[in-house]
Amino acid sequence: MRTALPARAGRYAALLAYLVFLAFPFLWLVSTAFKPPRELGSLHPTWIPEEPTLDNFRQAFAEQPLLHAAFNSLAAALAAAVVAVLIATPMAYVLARRRTRLATAVTGWVVVSQAFPFVLLIIPLFLVLKNLRLIDSVPGLVLVYVVWALPFALWMLAGYVRAVPPELEEAAAVDGAGRVRTLVSVTAPLLAPGIVATGLFAFITAWNEFFFALVLLKTPEKQTLPVVLTHFIGAEGVADLGPLAAAAFLATLPSLVVFALIQRRITGGMLTGAVKS
Amino acid sequence: MRTRLLALVLLLLLGGCSAGGTRDDGRITLRFQSLAWQEESVEANKQLVREWNATHPDVRVEYVQGSWDSVHDQLLTAFEGGEAPDIVHDASDDLADFAHGGYLADLTGLLPARLTSDIPRRSWETTTFGNGVYGVPFLQEPRVLIANATWLRRSGARIPTPEQPWTWEEFRGITERLSGPGRFGVAWPLKEPVSATLNLSLSAGGQLFHRGPDGKVTVRFGAAEEVVPRTVHAQANTDRSASPTTLGSGGSDTLPGFFAGRYAMVPLGFSYRQQIAQQAPKGFAWQVLPAPAGADGLIQGVSPQTLSIAEDCRHKKEAAQFLAFFLRPASMVRLALGDWMLPTGRQALKDPALHRHKDGWDIGTALAEHLRPAPAQSVRGYPEWKDKVATPAFQEYYSGAIGIGELRRRLERDGNLVLARYQR
């Protein structure tokens, strides 16, 4: 059935408006990052810098250990993503395949935990980390990120597992494949998009996280990128706008690159998880 | 808000969790958390730490970069968790909770006489809580008028000086004269209206907080307290000489309009000059003027930047020695120049670099003797009074939504109910 032209045009216009809405802050950030101070103080700012400069980047790198902080963020976020996926995948499989009362209760608990206030989670975590002497340590931070990301990752992955028809596993069993072989050769490849999407979610959550890192890490050499970015902000909210924009632009790059590289897989994964056959 | 709540709950639940702080691996190591953020200021701080470390091999100071943006929550959590830096950079209006909570060391007797006598008594009052002194006030900034010099000169208005400042009434008249269609004599950035109003009101003798013989503080909004709010209200609502759009803005937000010739003057903190010098279009002439004076002259309230020592610090004597080194007159000058602020020390204030006409240093330095502790900073319950009562009341008054009678009623009746809860 063909959709009427005005309706289609309206839909594209809405889509375009949404894209502009999403892209605006990022494009403004990029524009600001390349502007000299005088243009930042203009009443009529332009999208394209009139006198583009790299000085903001130079200043940002000179003033703050951005590369080191980015490395810390990357290490923490990657570790958190890998650990979260490693824990969530088998749990999600069991939750999705075993229709027991316990599985239903656990799923319900995971959903409810998402509605818990932030403060209820951080306090037990802080106490545990304190006792384990994991304050001011990247492994401690990774542990927090894993705990923070795990409920949603589990819930998300369980949806993907449910979308894999159990008949495929039964067919493999009929053909003589054992339990492990079935999981590795049949189920895991079908779950790959879901695992990637879940890992990405955990990665982005950890990469952008600020307050845990601020509270838990004391040593300057261990600070992550979001914490270092606040060093460009002064008293009463006055900011060193150019270098801040330059550093923030660099901080968004890894997320953009990762998304661009695996965008198709995520889209496929999202659809797989969303629709039940 | 969420982080404040978090910090509060941490305070309640983590009390006595553990001790820690200073590390000691044969020689003493002190962690110094600085909030310096401007390029020159960070460099000045780091350079002074390097100089200390080069001359004091037994006491190593480790520079830790903090952030103004989250310093209160971060310090509160760190103090509670026993992970606080040994030497803490903050502002005097943020110290009350920490001092009353026992997180900061009383510096009485720890600092050399050279430093204690160099900083005026009125500055020490900003860090004195009860019988103790909990920080060294070292940098401060008055609120000044940054003016479009060309516009002002062409208007023929008398240029005010620290010796002959404008009165509030004169200021109102001049902003009206400078205004025209789409152009305003002044742009008040009053995103945080309470501290600006209270600090400037001291010039007219407006104390607002009055301590009774029983030691209890009450709010009284009398004629002296009304001078500054009435002026701003009249400029924004009667004379139309103050831009109505900037009343909810921060200082930086007014600068594009200032550079574009929409506003003749902007009342800002002295350190904003750095941003103005950096961002002003080529050929744009600007100058620094003293804020208007009232019955009490040029007096205004300030909350200086401070350096404190954590109570948990195991080497308070050495930390105090570092403070004395860090705040030598010459060092104070470097720190002040780096932050575009004024030093509190009398010796440092004499430095020729702080008396240059360029960028208005001379005007700011001349105002230093008129700076007093911000009226509210030692009042228990002030943060709640400010957030729940005073900020919305002043915002509504300045926007013209309520009159002076309603403003008074809210500040006094509602405000005193809040303060009373803290003084039972």
Q: What is the DSSP string of B310-375?
A: BTT-S-HHHHHHHHHHHTSHHHHHHHHHHHT-EES-HHHHT-GGGG-SGGGHHHHHHHGGGEEE-T
- Chain A residues in contact with B281 (beta carbon < 8 A): 38, 41-42
Q: Do A240 and B74 touch (CB under 8 A)?
A: no
Residue of A nearest to B19 (CA): A130
If one counts every other C-beta atom within 10 angstroms of the C-beta of residue A136, the result is 16
B262 touches chain A (CB under 8 A): yes
Burial class (CB in 10 A: 0-12, 13-18, 19+), B180: exposed
Q: What is the pLDDT of residue B270?
A: 97
Q: Do B65 and A220 touch (CB under 8 A)?
A: yes
Q: Which DSSP state fits B138?
A: E
Check if the beta carbon of residue B241 is closer than 8 Å to that of residue B176. yes
Q: Do B67 and A233 touch (CB under 8 A)?
A: yes
A172-176, B88-92, B322-326, B328-332: segment of lowest average pLDDT:
A172-176
Which residue in the set A41, A126, A220 is minimally distant from B14, CB to CB? A126
Residue of B nearest to A36 (CA): B279
Q: What is the pLDDT of residue A166?
A: 87
Q: How far apart are CA B219 and CA B209, in angstroms?
A: 5
- Chain B residues in contact with A38 (beta carbon < 8 A): 278-282
* Angstroms from B83 CA to nearest CA on chain A: 8
If one counts every other C-beta atom within 10 angstroms of the C-beta of residue A202, the result is 28
Helices A118-131 & B2-13 angle (0-180, nearest 10): 40
- Chain B residues in contact with A64 (beta carbon < 8 A): 65
Interface test with B, best of A61, A119, A244 (most B CBs within 10 A): A119
A interface residues, B as partner, C-beta within 8 Å: 37-38, 40-45, 59, 62-64, 118-119, 122-123, 126-127, 130, 135-136, 211, 214-215, 218-220, 223, 227-228, 230-241
Q: How far apart are CA B242 and CA B178, in angstroms?
A: 10
Report the percentage of chain B scoring pLDDT > 90.
79
Is a pLDDT exceeding 70 seen at residue A121? no
Q: Is domain A60-274 classified as CATH 1.10.3720.10?
A: yes
Q: Do A238 and B272 touch (CB under 8 A)?
A: yes
Is a pLDDT exceeding 70 seen at residue A120? no
- Chain B residues in contact with A219 (beta carbon < 8 A): 64
Residue of A nearest to B251 (CA): A238
Residue B324 banded pLDDT, cuts 50, 70, 90: very high
Report residue B317 CA to chain centroid gap. Answer: 28
Check if the beta carbon of residue B175 is closer than 8 Å to that of residue B289. no
Alpha helices in B30-93 (DSSP H): 39-55, 71-80
Q: What is the pLDDT of residue B2?
A: 45
* Angstroms from B225 CA to nearest CA on chain A: 24
Q: Do B18 and A130 touch (CB under 8 A)?
A: yes
- What confidence tens digit (pLDDT) does each residue in A39-98 have? 988 888 889 999 999 999 999 998 889 999 999 999 999 999 999 999 999 988 888 888
Sort residue B186 into left (φ over 0), alpha (ψ -120 to 50) or beta: beta
Rounded to an integer, the average pLDDT of B238-256 is 94
Average pLDDT across chain B, whole number: 91
Rounded to an integer, the average pLDDT of A10-26 is 91
Q: What's this model's pTM, rounded to 2 decimal places?
A: 0.81
Q: What is the pLDDT of residue B9?
A: 42
Rounded to an integer, the average pLDDT of B34-53 is 93
B5 touches chain A (CB under 8 A): yes
Report the percentage of chain A scoring pLDDT > 90.
32
Q: Which range in A74-78, A124-128, A131-135 is most confidently predicted, on average pLDDT?
A: A74-78
User: Which carries the bigger pLDDT value, residue A79 or residue B77?
Assistant: A79
The residues, any chain, with a CB within 8 Å of residue B201's CB and separated by 6 or more, are B208, B224, B225, B227, B228, B229, B375
Q: What is the pLDDT of residue A3?
A: 66
Check if the beta carbon of residue B167 is closer than 8 Å to that of residue B175. no
Check if the beta carbon of residue B310 is closer than 8 Å to that of residue B84. yes
Check if the beta carbon of residue A246 is closer than 8 Å to that of residue A225. no
DSSP three-state, residue B265: strand
Q: Do A236 and B251 touch (CB under 8 A)?
A: yes
- What confidence tens digit (pLDDT) does each residue in B62-74 have? 999 888 877 887 8
Q: Do B83 and A218 touch (CB under 8 A)?
A: yes
Is a pLDDT exceeding 80 seen at residue B25? no
Burial class (CB in 10 A: 0-12, 13-18, 19+), B362: middle
Q: How far apart are CA A155 and CA A107, in angstroms?
A: 7
DSSP three-state, residue B32: strand
Q: What is the ipTM for the molecules in this complex?
A: 0.73
Cα angle B93, B75, A222 (rounded to 5 degrees) comes to 140
Rounded to an integer, the average pLDDT of B101-127 is 96
Check if the beta carbon of residue A136 is closer than 8 Å to that of residue A218. yes
Q: Do A231 and B67 touch (CB under 8 A)?
A: yes
Interface test with B, best of A131, A209, A215, A221 (most B CBs within 10 A): A215
Q: How far apart are CA B417 and CA A62, in angstroms?
A: 51
Q: How far apart are CA B203 and CA B16, in angstroms?
A: 45
Q: Do A135 and B81 touch (CB under 8 A)?
A: yes
User: Which carries the bigger pLDDT value, residue A215 or residue A87?
Assistant: A87
Integer angstrom CA distances of residue A237 from A232, A233, B24, B35: 10, 6, 36, 13
DSSP B379-413: -TTHHHIIIIIIHHHHHHHHHTSS-HHHHHHIIII
Residue of A nearest to B83 (CA): A218
- Chain A residues in contact with B13 (beta carbon < 8 A): 123, 127
Q: How far apart are CA B66 and CA B77, in angstroms?
A: 14
Check if the beta carbon of residue B259 is closer than 8 Å to that of residue B281. yes
DSSP three-state, residue B101: coil
B422 touches chain A (CB under 8 A): no
Residue B8 banded pLDDT, cuts 50, 70, 90: very low
Q: Identify the CA nearest to B72 among candidates B35, B20, B17.
A: B35
B19 touches chain A (CB under 8 A): no
Please count the residue pairs, one from chain A and one from chain B, whose beta carbons lie less than 8 angstroms apart: 112
If one counts every other C-beta atom within 10 angstroms of the C-beta of residue A277, the result is 8
Q: Which range in A210-219, B7-16, B48-57, B211-220 is most confidently predicted, on average pLDDT?
A: B48-57
Check if the beta carbon of residue B185 is closer than 8 Å to that of residue B238. no
B14 touches chain A (CB under 8 A): yes
Q: How far apart are CA A26 and CA B215, in angstroms?
A: 54
- Chain B residues in contact with A46 (beta carbon < 8 A): none
Q: What is the pLDDT of residue A53?
A: 94
Rounded to an integer, the average pLDDT of B378-384 is 84
Is a pLDDT exceeding 50 seen at residue B159? yes
Rounded to an integer, the average pLDDT of A182-193 is 87
Q: Do A220 and B63 touch (CB under 8 A)?
A: yes
Residue A272 banded pLDDT, cuts 50, 70, 90: low
Q: How far apart are CA B310 and CA B303, in angstroms?
A: 20
Q: How far apart are CA A92 and CA A79, in angstroms?
A: 19
Rounded to an integer, the average pLDDT of B121-147 is 95
Q: Find residues 30-59 of chain B whose CB sits inside 8 Å of chain A.
A: 31, 35, 37-39, 42
- Chain B residues in contact with A235 (beta carbon < 8 A): 35, 68, 91
Q: What is the pLDDT of residue B1?
A: 43
Q: What is the pLDDT of residue A101?
A: 82
The 3-class secondary structure across A127-173, one letter per residue, is: HHHHHCCCCCCHHHHHHHHHHHHHHHHHHHHHHHHHHCCHHHHHHHH
User: Which carries the bigger pLDDT value, residue A165 or residue B107?
Assistant: B107
Average pLDDT across chain A, whole number: 85
B249 touches chain A (CB under 8 A): no
- What confidence tens digit (pLDDT) does each residue in B388-414 have? 999 999 999 999 999 999 999 999 999
Check if the beta carbon of residue B142 is closer than 8 Å to that of residue B370. yes
Q: Do A235 and B17 touch (CB under 8 A)?
A: no
Sort residue A237 into left (φ over 0), alpha (ψ -120 to 50) or beta: left
Check if the beta carbon of residue B12 is closer than 8 Å to that of residue B44. no
Q: Find residues 68-97 of chain B whose CB sits inside 8 Å of chain A.
A: 68-70, 74, 77-78, 81, 83, 85, 91
Q: Which DSSP state fits B128?
A: E
Q: Where are the domains of chain A?
A: 1-53, 60-274
Ordered domains of chain B (ranges, CATH): 12-140+302-367 (3.40.190.10), 143-290+380-422 (3.40.190.10)
Q: How far apart are CA A85 and CA B300, in angstroms?
A: 58
Rounded to an integer, the average pLDDT of B225-235 is 97
Q: How far apart are CA B193 and CA B267, in angstroms?
A: 12
Residue of A nearest to B261 (CA): A43
Q: What is the pLDDT of residue B96?
A: 85
Q: Do A230 and B69 touch (CB under 8 A)?
A: yes
Residue keyed to tokens 């008054």: B397
Across the strands, what pairs with B32?
A: B63, B87
DSSP chain A: -PPPHHHHHHHHHHHHHHHHHHHHHHHHHHHHHT--HHHHT-SS--SS-SS--SHHHHHHHHHS-HHHHHHHHHHHHHHHHHHHHHHHHHHHHHHHH---HHHHHHHHHHHHHTTS-HHHHHHHHHHHHHHTT-TT-HHHHHHHHHHHHHHHHHHHHHHHHHHS-HHHHHHHHHTT--HHHHIIIIIHHHHHHHHHHHHHHHHHHHHH--HHHHHH--SGGG--HHHHHGGGB-GGG-B-HHHHHHHHHHHHHHHHHHHHHHHHHHHHHHHHHH---
Q: Find residues 181-210 of chain B whose CB sits inside 8 Å of chain A.
A: 192
Q: What is the pLDDT of residue B231?
A: 98
